[in-house]
Structures are given as structure tokens and as C-alpha cells.
């Protein structure tokens, strides 16, 4: 599942190599729908240093790394963390 379904086409239709500024200038107005709100491509890419991306995958991964806390769902939540020693946790469930 892609986090940017609403703007994924932007990465694949852009000609490469492309710089951070190129992506902001061409697609900065696009809105990304995130679990806890929205951000524009300009908001996300603006957090990055100026780089040149050779492929759509490089640009997409860089953008993923710059998403704010609006994109993480419940902050600090993990259902995979082990219970610390001395704590009572939920009963184990076998499926």
C-alpha cells in the first residue's frame, strides 16, 4: 500500500533526473492525504535538502522520509513491542 496514493502519479510522470526544486515547482500544489490530516508536496519536499533524483523511486523514498507526524497514525503505538520485565501485559492469544 502506498501512502501517497493521491499523488503517486506525480512521481511516475515526472521526467528524471529531477531536483527537489523541480518537484516542488511542478507538483508542490498537490495534496497528500495522510492518516491524521493532509500536507502538500511542497510541505513535504521543502523539508529536504536540494538533491537530484535519478528515478521516481528515489524521489518517492525521499518524500516518505520527510512526512510529518500526520503520516504515522497513532504516535508511539506498536502492537509488536514486547512487554518489559515486571509489567503485566495482555494475555497471549493463539489464533
Residue 79 or 26, more confident: 26
Return the half-sphere exposure (C-beta side, CA atoms, 13 A cut-off) of residue 1: 2
pLDDT reading at 38 higher than 90: no
pTM for the model: 0.69
Domain boundaries along the sequence of the chain: 8-71
pLDDT at 22 over 80: yes
What is the structure's pLDDT at 93? 65
**pLDDT score at 1:** 37
What residues contact residue 22 under an 8 Å CB cut-off, 6+ apart?
14
Q: Determine the pLDDT at residue 17.
A: 97
Of 1, 44, 2, the residue nearest 23 (C-alpha) = 44
Spatial CA neighbour of 92 closest among 79, 76, 78: 79
Beta carbons of 15 and 56 less than 8 angstroms apart: no
Helix, strand, coil % in the chain, rounded to nearest 5: 35, 15, 55
Amino acid at each position: 500500500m502506498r501512502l501517497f496514493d493521491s499523488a503517486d502519479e506525480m512521481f511516475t510522470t515526472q521526467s528524471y533526473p529531477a531536483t527537489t526544486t523541480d518537484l516542488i515547482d511542478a507538483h508542490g500544489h498537490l495534496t497528500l492525504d495522510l492518516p491524521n490530516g493532509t500536507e502538500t508536496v511542497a510541505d513535504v519536499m521543502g523539508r529536504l535538502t536540494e538533491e537530484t533524483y535519478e528515478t521516481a523511486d528515489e524521489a518517492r523514498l525521499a518524500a516518505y522520509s520527510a512526512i510529518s507526524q500526520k503520516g504515522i497514525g497513532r504516535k508511539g503505538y506498536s502492537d509488536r513491542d514486547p512487554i518489559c520485565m515486571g509489567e503485566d501485559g495482555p494475555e497471549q492469544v493463539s489464533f
